[in-house]
Structure 1
């Protein structure tokens, strides 16, 4: 009896050991979906997330942080990043003056104050507008030049003015009009949304305009900051079919590594379908062509399909998403590029936040941006083991400006994905270039959508953890975003 009991106990021990071996063995050979070894992920941007909607701060400007930021322009000055933005708030008429915020890291922002106390009398008399729109700030001649817009809603009664200061935080001196437009004048342009840039020879230019007549570019006098040629509206570089096809908020940046000027504009309506498009040219005055060689001057029914859409309204899991993702600004520092834009949370689109995103460059010289807000991450090498796992992906189609909702995709360790066909596949090339081929027979060229995607670290603002993301384009210039899920 005793021997029998001993055998039973020994058998149970052996069985238990076998079970442990199977469990741990299977774990050892199972794909490691959370492998971030060798990757420097960004730290949490702050202790707690900023609330997308927070009625407690409506009248507490010192707690606004990114709240109520609209049409922001960025500049680096005195070791701070400054954002100058449109007069905006929720629930009341905004105090006029052009809001100023500053940050040490492009992540945490503090409210500084305003440029003015009220709209200058000349601008008010021309437009009857009592708030400022869409400023831009530029350093030249050891001074700061601030360009501002005042306009009458729904008309071309608009005014771009100039203020100057020896200090980025002021005081500012109003220098009067740069250019004015009015219904019935000899201009085509609507004089709002100035964006200032230098060409490769150091000549300053102003790109500006909106719905009415499109986007123009004109030279500035380097000594005064005003028009080089008086009353010259400049050259038309972007236009859509009619007033039903929104276009505004232009910016231009030059990348010396590619030799191209990049025009960014915003399409559609600022509260929901707003999105950022880009095109490029070897000449600052154009023509500006997108990935498919479509000219940004397009007054046909196809003008919804011009420009590479690089930011649009979106929803990742565990969040209400963001709409009104437009009116961008651009910043370059030591060869690193950033894009800012407005964003309105899905739970209340009347609140507007500042989003800053890292720009990365495709292998053929196009800018794309991170799917997640900037949190201090650096582009770096990754491994195949880092890529394996569950991802969310969001497509940004040029023909559909509605909110795009994420879909799930699993990248398997054998270079395949979890689609039913078994024909979609991926591979990692170079340091961080993911080539993803999605099988779509009869729809995609050659039955595959072939994406070249840069993989970069990011902070997952929806789930509050570090992760990896990807961003890039297919063979038709359509952008795909992705975010790895941490399990």
Structure 2
């Protein structure tokens, strides 16, 4: 990203976003108050009038969920408003096949002047599953059910849930789906009908060994980044209620192979350390004394001009029965890997950062692939001299004069580890104030987050 230093005289921090009231039991039955509450498996689309819509799985804390696919909208990705549901119940064809009482993990795309919404029906632990299609001229309906796109039964290896529609570099649409069982598959879509060009199961792009304790790879979402001329497959690993985490692989072709930062194929089920496949960019975390979040995952990705955002659900550590919508800004490393902000989006923009704002006390989170559940933050002190911790330390930091810092860590005696991170003026949701954060990868492809604690010079 090219940023003019002459234009960045001062750093602009986000203003205070609306408070997300957690555990709001008083509004359990008041859907109009469900701004980000009760959001699970969110999928996002931006309409021509500049409105962002999120569709999501049927869930509810404190009682049975009403079936029909939830719809929310926003003008800024910060303030969210309840819209309603796509259906009044589960469509007949889907219910007759699966007996599923609710609808799961939708995705939405636009072909011509109509919106195409793909929904999933199933029951937990079964691959007697169904993906159907509904169409409408407006994201607020009315919607017409168009029936089956693909279904699977007990004798099949794949599982027909978690649909995702993606266009390749030439504009051709593809259909991605799958959860657990044999993994994630992709096959071409007919834009004239919104249904498959050919029968499934399609090309396998991600899988996990059945020997893996949870065996989960699900919630696929593919995007194409024209800057790097690569396709990126985002998928969620492990248990959706405890240690969910988002991992990424990339490919030169939309049908793969998708490989992680270290060149491991996301479809390789023979690799011994299955936990180590996929570049993990988002997992459970805790900054300082804040309870933090667990099981973030099942994301969608929004490309909005030159900006990218990841939308996902997450559960508060105090009570994981609740789930909330999170939006985070995505930044891209210079070698073409997505990394996400450690803080939820509040309107922040990438800017040139004066060097004087960097030194100070920080909290960092290292998103190691083998960690299940929540990662607790550790302290990091960046000294004005360029040293880390103490003046006689062997660890140092350098700054490129724009918005990138490199941490040179070699005090453990195992050789230097380099961590290149990008700075972002953000809102500190834990401490309710503006602050500086960073996000990036070390030279082994491990995601690093940081948040500056001393913010006395902020507005």
CA offset digits 1:98-147 (Å, max 9, x no partner) = 00111111011111100000101110110010100000010112110000
Report the 3-state secondary structure (helix = DSSP H, G, I; strand = E; otherwise coil) of the residue aligned with 1:418: coil
In the superposition, the TM-score normalised over structure 1's length comes to 0.89
Separation of aligned partners in 2, 1:350 and 1:232? 35
Q: Tell me whether 1:56 sits opposite 2:26 in the alignment.
A: yes
> 1:97-136, aligned counterparts within 5 Å?
97-136=68-107
Structure 1 segment 317-328 matched on structure 2, within 5 A = 317-328=288-299
Please list every run of 5 or more consecutive structure 1 residues that lacks an aligned counterpart in the other structure.
1-35
Tell me, in whole angstroms, the C-alpha distance in 1 between the residues paired with 2:294 and 2:383. Answer: 32
Aligned to 1:137: 108
TM-score of the aligned structures, taking structure 2 as reference length: 0.95
Partner in structure 1 of residue 163 of structure 2: 194
Alpha-carbon contact 1:158-1:192 (below 8 Å) kept: yes
**Which 5+ residue runs of structure 2 have no aligned equivalent?**
1-7
| Pick aligned residue for 1:304 from 275, 287, 310 | 275
Quote the residue 1:483 is aligned against: 451
The separation in 2 between residues aligned to 1:164 and 1:310, in whole angstroms, is: 33
Give the corresponding residue for 1:44: 16
Conserved 8 A contact 2:394-2:411: no
Distance 1:427 1:92, change over 3 A: same
Other structure's SS at 2:196 match: coil
Are 1:454 and 2:426 counterparts? no
| Corresponding position: 1:469 with 2:437 | yes
Aligned position for 1:10: none
Matched, 1:345 2:299: no
Between the aligned partners of 2:290 and 2:24, the Cα distance in structure 1 is 16
Q: Which residue of 2 aligns with 1:265?
A: 235
CA distance in 2, matches of 1:246, 1:52: 28
* Cα displacement (A) at 1:421: 6.4
Tell me the residue number matched to 2:184: 215
CA offset at residue 440 of structure 1?
4.5
Give the match's secondary structure for 1:304.
helix
Alignment of 1:60-459 (within 5 A): 60-77=30-47, 78-185=49-156, 188-229=157-198, 231-242=199-210, 244-300=214-270, 301-418=272-389, 422-443=393-414, 447-459=415-427
CA 1:440–1:290: 2 relative to 1, 3 Å: farther
Indicate the residue corresponding to 2:4 in structure 1.
none
Residues 272, 325 of structure 1: 8 Å contact kept: no
1:261–1:281 CA contact under 8 A, matched in 2: yes
Change (3 A) 1:474 1:59: same
- Higher mean Cα deviation, 429-438 or 105-114? 429-438
Post-superposition Cα deviations, 1:396-448, rounded to whole Å, max 9, x if no partner, equal: 001212210011111100001115961111011151010011224344xxx12
CA distance in 2, matches of 1:169, 1:37: 43
1:252 CA displacement: 0.3
Q: Name 1:31's counterpart in structure 2.
A: none
Q: Which residue of 2 aligns with 1:18?
A: none
Other structure's SS at 1:220 match: strand
Q: CA deviation at 1:232?
A: 2.1
Structure with bigger helix share is 1
Aligned partners of 2:361 and 2:380 also within 8 Å: yes
**Is the CA contact (8 Å cut-off) linking 1:208 and 1:217 kept in structure 2?**
yes
> Looking at CA atoms only, which structure, 1 or 2, has the larger radius of gyration?
1
Give the alignment's Cα RMSD to 1 decimal: 1.3
Match of 1:11 in 2: none
- In the TM superposition, residue 338 of structure 1 has moved relative to its aligned partner by 0.4
Divergent runs of 4+, >6 A: none
Deviations 1:262-303 (A, max 9, x none): 000000001110000001001000000110000001213311
